[in-house]
Amino acid sequence: MAVQHSKVVSSTLKAVLTGSPTVSINLCILEECLRKCQIPKDFLQIHAQLSVSGLINDSMAASRLLSFSANSHFLPLDHSLRILDQAENPNAFCWNTIMRAYVRRNLPQSCLSLYRSMLKSGLVPDNFTHPIVLQACSLRFCLREAYVQIGDVDESVYIFDNMPEQNTIASNSMIALFGRSKLVEDARKLFDEMTLRDTVSWTAMISCYEQNKMFREALELFNFMRGCGIPIDEVVLVSVLSACASLGTIKEGEAIHGLIIRIGIQTYLSLMNSLSHMYSSYGNIDAAELLFDSSYSDQISWNIMISGYLKCGFVDKARRTFHSMPHKDLVSWSTIISGYAQHGSFSDTLNLFHEMQIRGIRPDETTLVSVISACTNLSALEQGRWVHAYVRKHAFRLNLFLGTTLIDMYMKFGCTETALEIFDEMEEKSVSTWNAVILGLAMNGFFKEALEKFSHMERHGVLPNEITFVGVLGACRHGGLVAEGRDHFNSMKHVYNLEPNVKHYGCIVDLLGRAGLLNEAEEVITYMPIVPDVSTWGALLGACKKYGNNEIGERLGRKLIELEPEHDGFHVLLSNMYASKGKWDDLMEIRSIMKRRKVVKTPGCSIIEADGIVHEFLSGDDGHPQMNKIEEMLNEMARKLKMEGYEANTAEVAFDIENEEKESSLYRHSEKLAIAFGLINTKPSVPIRIMKNLRICSDCHAAAKILSKAFEREIVVRDRHRFHHFKQGVCSCTDYW
């Protein structure tokens, strides 16, 4: 087909040369040739014939040729620049055409350079030039470009010195630019100084407020606009309805809906979509459904309804709406996948992502963030690695959200080296990125490295926030760094002007308790300016059990059971404390209280992944398909443990509520079942990675150390509090947990 077109174009041009047509006839023939032009060779023939015939000197012909070149998908813009250089006295339209093409192809700097060349040529820009240049500036998000680089020849005056005061189009564009650049005060100043304001001017300013989350100001300016008698159109109403949705102002939103009906504005799809979005944000899904007509709605309408259902918690309705859509775009897939992840439907998140891949739809960064989050929550490391490989293969940029989510995932799987590699790759890092690294290193027991990262963060000029200090204090807690922990805790208020919250106090109490400073820890709780939470009390009670302080432990345990009668952890800690001291009567009393109040201890559960499939083991579990092989491996593990001189710690087994009801023996703890499964189903070179919902018990901790040496395997266990990396008979926690 391309060859046939080329022949037609060539014959048409020859007809032009053989005759002596008038300019008007030549322009008609030029239009026909350009219409048939589909390959670079055809265009080069046309350009050559125009140059030979001299028609290139006609401004209309040059403009038409240049316009085709600039808008063609198969021609580089260099061709357009050659035509511009060749044409005699090119008009502003020619310059504007190429500058607009640069903006369309996301080359704002080239647009600005061409604008300066235009000024140097002595040509006066028209009213269409400045909006194009301002759009290029908005792409760069640099107001210096707007004021200096696009100034006049000597770059000493601003762009507005080159504009007529009545150039409302350019001023409106500048307000929009200020809005995108978050310079709201500058936008309002320009708006107030405008001598002529049209509906677009008011819309631009209201949109500026709405884009910068100044929703109340947007509504106030809209009301002022109505008072001034300015015509109201669909575009300004979209911004106003968005402001109402963000503020949650139900009465004002309903009033604007009434205004739309009263003044007879046609409810175009975009306006209906805005109304639907507003009612969805109010939780009034019935009103949103009334506006939604599946036979009339466009793609945006369907997407808004899916988003609305998810925001209101109607996941099943969102799923049905998604599957009923006649056409699904990237936004549709991203919305439903993100919604599944936000509502904890992590398996559905991965299944839908796989379906998306089968259909050949390329995800965006938002979708990938949700999928990675699902992998993290499902303990699906292999699938998470596959997503990371997909990111690399398709050259996704590691932006703040995608990079930080990957770091968080790898840290929560104990893959600290990979997480740090991603951190180093990222060109831009926010406080959240630094927090993910500091928290991850602390949780994995690399407390020195975590504190070093905090120092690096300060040297890079990134201000820490409350989450940062949860990681810093966590590092001190896991490392037993009492003095450093006190210093960092005090620096929050006195150096960084951050008020410690209950999590920070909980870290300090746990730090002091682990170090055996029980009286000081209790004093911290007593004089806390905020009410301590369950975790803070539990940290002190656990420390009392560890150090055998029955005086504080029993008093505190009894008090907490009364305050939190349904909290299973307090009952178990106190009963274990009694069991360790042989106080069987007191232990039986706690058991009786638990049965009377129907308090049930959460069973121990361990999760392990093999060949991309996640396996879950409960304490005492015997229902796994490979149970026979697991039993054989448990026996082999017991044999090797005994060879190493291991003796099971049975002091608390008979009276441990958790183990008594869910574990038949110490050898059937969920961790040991998962380790046995891992030894059978994973390669020797691959670490056995286990996620546990409770704190690892002392017996499993001791056994895991020996097993890591006996089988020459690295075992990584993430319990409720931290990671334990077992390797060659040693744990990364140095038995301090």
Q: Are residues 595 and 678 in the same domain?
A: no
Q: Is 687 helix (H, G, I), strand (E, B) or coil?
A: coil
* CATH number, domain with residue 544: 1.25.40
Which pLDDT score is estimated for 491? Answer: 93
% of the chain surpassing 90 pLDDT: 26
Each residue of 572-597: pLDDT tens digit?
A: 777 777 776 677 777 788 778 777 77
Which pLDDT score is estimated for 681? Answer: 93
Place of tokens 């316009």: 67
Most confident residue range from 293-302, 461-470, 717-726: 461-470
Q: Are residues 642 and 668 in the same domain?
A: yes
Which pLDDT score is estimated for 511? Answer: 92
Looking at the domain assignment, is residue 718 inside a domain? yes
Which pLDDT score is estimated for 388? Answer: 94
Task: Find the domain containing 658 and state its range.
Answer: 606-731
Checking if the pLDDT of 454 tops 50, the result is: yes
| Total domains, the chain | 2
Q: Are residues 611 and 529 in the same domain?
A: no
Residue where one domain finishes, among candidates 559, 581, 600: 600
Mean pLDDT score of the chain, rounded to an integer?
81
CB atoms near residue 341 (< 10 Å) = 24
| Stronger pLDDT, 431 or 590, i.e. the higher one | 431
Mean pLDDT of 211-217: 91
Q: Are residues 642 and 701 in the same domain?
A: yes
Looking at the domain assignment, is residue 398 inside a domain? no
Maximum distance among all Cα pairs of the chain, rounded to whole angstroms = 118
Q: Are residues 587 and 680 in the same domain?
A: no
Confidence of residue 319 (pLDDT cuts 50, 70, 90): confident
Looking at the domain assignment, is residue 656 inside a domain? yes
Looking at the domain assignment, is residue 220 inside a domain? no
Q: Are residues 630 and 713 in the same domain?
A: yes
CB-based contact 422:407 (threshold 8 Å): yes
Q: Are residues 629 and 545 in the same domain?
A: no
Confidence of residue 524 (pLDDT cuts 50, 70, 90): very high
Which amino acid is it at 439?
Answer: L
Q: Are residues 610 and 721 in the same domain?
A: yes
CB-based contact 511:473 (threshold 8 Å): yes
Cα(253)–Cα(249) distance, rounded to whole angstroms?
Answer: 6
DSSP string, 442-507: HHTT-HHHHHHHHHHHHHTTPPP-HHHHHHHHHHHHHHT-HHHHHHHHHHHHHTS-----HHHHHH
Checking if the pLDDT of 159 tops 90, the result is: no
Confidence of residue 26 (pLDDT cuts 50, 70, 90): low
Which pLDDT score is estimated for 268? Answer: 59
Q: Are residues 518 and 568 in the same domain?
A: yes
Confidence of residue 88 (pLDDT cuts 50, 70, 90): confident
Each residue of 27-69: pLDDT tens digit?
A: 677 877 888 888 888 888 888 888 887 788 877 888 888 888 8
Looking at the domain assignment, is residue 661 inside a domain? yes
% of the chain surpassing 70 pLDDT: 85
Cα(152)–Cα(144) distance, rounded to whole angstroms?
Answer: 14
User: Three-class SS string for 378-421?
Assistant: CCCHHHHHHHHHHHHHCCCCCCHHHHHHHHHHHHHCCCHHHHHH
Checking if the pLDDT of 659 tops 60, the result is: no
Confidence of residue 304 (pLDDT cuts 50, 70, 90): confident
Confidence of residue 161 (pLDDT cuts 50, 70, 90): very low
Which amino acid is it at 471?
Answer: G
Checking if the pLDDT of 619 tops 90, the result is: no
Number of helices (H), then strands (E), in the chain: 39, 6
Which pLDDT score is estimated for 154? Answer: 31
Angle made by CA atoms 206, 207, 211, in degrees to the nearest 5: 125
Q: Are residues 571 and 611 in the same domain?
A: no
Mean pLDDT of 256-276: 69
CB-based contact 453:441 (threshold 8 Å): yes
Two tokens at 438? 């500091």
Looking at the domain assignment, is residue 717 inside a domain? yes
Checking if the pLDDT of 8 tops 50, the result is: no
Which amino acid is it at 399?
Answer: N
Which pLDDT score is estimated for 504? Answer: 94
Looking at the domain assignment, is residue 226 inside a domain? no
Mean pLDDT of 560-578: 74
Looking at the domain assignment, is residue 617 inside a domain? yes
Q: Are residues 719 and 616 in the same domain?
A: yes
The candidate with the shortest Cα–Cα distance to 466, out of 503, 511, 508, is: 503
Residue where one domain finishes, among candidates 547, 581, 600: 600
The reported pTM is: 0.64
Each residue of 360-400: pLDDT tens digit?
A: 888 988 899 999 999 998 888 888 999 999 999 988 888 88
> CB neighbours of 63 closer than 8 A, spacing ≥ 6?
90, 91, 93, 94, 97
> CB neighbours of 172 closer than 8 A, spacing ≥ 6?
131, 198, 200, 201, 204
Each residue of 532-554: pLDDT tens digit?
A: 887 888 888 888 877 878 778 77
Checking if the pLDDT of 427 tops 60, the result is: yes
Q: Per this entry, what is the length of the chain?
A: 737
Place of tokens 């089988």: 711
CB atoms near residue 612 (< 10 Å) = 11
Checking if the pLDDT of 9 tops 50, the result is: no
Q: Are residues 554 and 666 in the same domain?
A: no
Residue where one domain finishes, among candidates 544, 574, 600: 600
| Stronger pLDDT, 152 or 166, i.e. the higher one | 166
In whole angstroms, how far apart are CA 117 and each of 81, 84, 97, 103, 238? Answer: 12, 12, 14, 16, 39
Mean pLDDT of 411-431: 92
Mean pLDDT of 314-342: 87
